[in-house]
Chains A and B, each alone.
Chain A
Amino acid sequence: MMASTLFRTIQIHPFLLYPTTLFRRRNGALYCTMKSTQTQTATQEKQQPSKVKVSQHTQSKTLDKIKRDYEAVIGIETHVQLSTLTKAFCSCPYNYGSQPNTSICPICMGLPGALPVLNSKVIEFAVKLGLALNCKLSLNSKFDRKQYFYPDLPKGYQISQFDIPIATGGYIDLDLPLEFGGGHRKFGITRVHMEEDAGKLLHSGNEDYSQVDLNRAGVPLLEIVSEPDMRTGIEAAEYAAELQRVVRYLGISNGNMQEGSLRCDVNVSIRPVGQLEFGTKVEIKNLNSFSSINRAIDFEISRQVLFHSQGQSDQIVQETRLWEEGAQKTVTMRKKEGLSDYRYFPEPDLPEVILSQVFVDSIHNSLPELPEMKRRRYEKMGLSMQDVLFLANDMNILFELLAKGGTVKGLIEEKDLVQIADPIEIGKMVDKVLSENPKQLGQYRGGKTKLQGFFAGQVMKLSKGKANPGLLNKILLEKLNAES
């Protein structure tokens, strides 16, 4: 069922921006460089020693074998942008896509003399999520200042929660999609805390300057940190998808990865099967869809396993890597020099957050039936797992079904929702798109591999969103890389 979720959420952007790559972190400070790190990456690629040519097929077969000796340990940090009417600490509204700096005030701009005042909805939403994730709520928590310098952070600190988050020690139940083997999973949630978002940086085309848009500064976020319980890319992707369902069910967020109202950073490490000690952890950013999460993790696991298998496990360093959608790989962004010192201290401008049990109970009583509850209920009703997942995991279908009646299968066919998974049919669509875009094809073959995303998007459009994404990309890559 994740596939159907995937097709609803993938909107492939032809030109992905990597804003943060322009600011390299060195010696704990961030600064703007004249050269783009993308160029550097390309240079690095060219400078890599040529590898022994082994057929891809053989390579992946061997790798699969080796992989079985290792276990991947994956944890995810998710930021959920809350859909409150106004920002966390001021009365500015937030609308994605507004003209830059049109939704700002002295408070979210960090002007001298301005002070934050907490939007009480933020607490309500945080408690809702904490309860939905089966967490223990801290009835007494507080805000802290997380301090660092960056142009999108107007005050020079972010109001967040450090040592006493509003919720801790929870878990989430989900079912893996049937096409990936199905199965029930339970993943731990370490903590949920409240914080404010930073603004956005827009980089000029020729990278001479950058501009600051503070519309997003001060928008409330909930940060969800998972236990490192996932073991595969699919598990991680489904975890993210389930979080999306939960926040949408609760009505606290759009949970939209493309708009940035749901953001995931994953941490991946591997260890030999049986070893208790964790391996070196690598953080991956720039994941804009569930399928990217899946593919990035799979790639990263392979990358790390390869090093291990060649006796070069010390080549795996603790760092942040970026997922490149076009090239379908992770690349170095910056090396983590230990933990940054954010000089946390309690936010003196805001009073302690005190929750009464009455308040918590009233929120508990107002929670809707969450996806997990629904799934278990449908299962008990005797529905097939496929129908269970389809129904419970897609709210729109559900609402329509309730309104109109009829069977699930009938509705699927009626809505022409059946996914296209026939490689020949997809192949035809890819051919069509490639022939209709000769200029871009030429550019791609000339080295602009980023354009894969563009083509994928065009095929998706052509298929009215029904093409199986995994298959699409596989076929697309084959055809793109074939000699014309």
Chain B
Amino acid sequence: MVSGLINANPVVYERKERRVRTAPFSADEYAVEPIDQQEIFDHIRDIKDPEHPYSLEELKVVTEDAIEVDDKHSHVRVTFTPTVEHCSMATVIGLCLRVKLMRSLPSRYKVDIRIAPGTHATEAAVNKQLNDKERVAAALENPNLLDMVDECLAPTYA
């Protein structure tokens, strides 16, 4: 374990105003509201960074625009940007994102997590690791890792 923080002094951005959806109250009882970008973003914006008391949104690790969702084909892809290129926390962040989405989305969804191209030193390796079912499952068998993930996810259930 490296002593000290990987990115000791990250840039903190302002939180975006939470958009209130103006759903007409008298709307059709049976109308379907498809899962969209904003909804996915609402799921993951409050995930805490593994090494700072800031949310991923505040660190601009995830943004709304970096989410692609296709409700018809049950597919979602989240592209996240680690704060520094050699960030070893990238896998943990990716794992948090995956776990959170798996717990929040219907089981029909395929979740794709990847690092924004050119923002990380070992991009390919991390992407491969994050989208490998076996390795994700194995990682979650590790109690330490699971504790860490749960701690990061805690603010999202507030």
B is a partner of A:
no
